[in-house]
Amino acid sequence: MPLSFDSALGIHAKALQVRGKRTQILASNIANADTPGFKARDIDYRAVLSHAGTDRRVGMRGTDERHIVSGNDIPAASLLYRVPLHPSLDGNTVDGQMEKAAFAENALRYQASLTFLDRKFKGLIGALKGE
């Protein structure tokens, strides 16, 4: 039986990565809550996760602003703009309350993924020890 971490851990490792990325995007929104003209962004979690599950390309890292980066972890098309409920006069579309709620929810789901992973590891260790 070939033992690969990818098959043993299932989708949870990918889910953790995407949740981490979403934490970063939501933190950007909250940080720019007072910046004129800033447009709040978010990702379509389901689309990104299905992309992460099938895409096996090796990504390249850009080290300069002018580089075209391919195969990065989040496709640019799934990084969307939020539709504002009540846009403000200065063009900012961040809704502080909504962003905070989304951030709390995302943090909770990150911890859920962590717990799943933790149990997977515990299971593997138990199987290895054979106790």
Q: CA torsion, points 42, 23, 26, 44, in degrees to nearest 10?
A: 10
Q: Whose Cβ is closer to other proteins: residue 53's or residue 96's?
A: 96
Output the smallest distance, CB 53 to other proteins, in A: 18
Residue recorded with tokens 């859920």: 112
Output the smallest distance, CB 54 to other proteins, in A: 18
Q: Whose Cβ is closer to other proteins: residue 58's or residue 76's?
A: 76
Report helix angle 12-31 to 45-54, nearest 10.
140
Q: Whose Cβ is closer to other proteins: residue 20's or residue 87's?
A: 20
Tell me how far apart the alpha carbons of residues 7 and 74 are, in angstroms, rounded to a whole number: 22
Output the smallest distance, CB 106 to other proteins, in A: 9
Residues that bind other proteins in the complex, under the rule CB under 8 A: 16-17, 20-21, 23-28, 30-38, 41, 61-65, 69, 72-76, 79, 96, 100, 103-104, 107, 110-111, 114, 117-118, 121-122, 125
Output the smallest distance, CB 35 to other proteins, in A: 4
- Alpha-helix residue ranges (DSSP H) falling in 1-131: 5-9, 12-31, 45-54, 96-129
Tell me how far apart the alpha carbons of residues 81 and 93 are, in angstroms, rounded to a whole number: 9
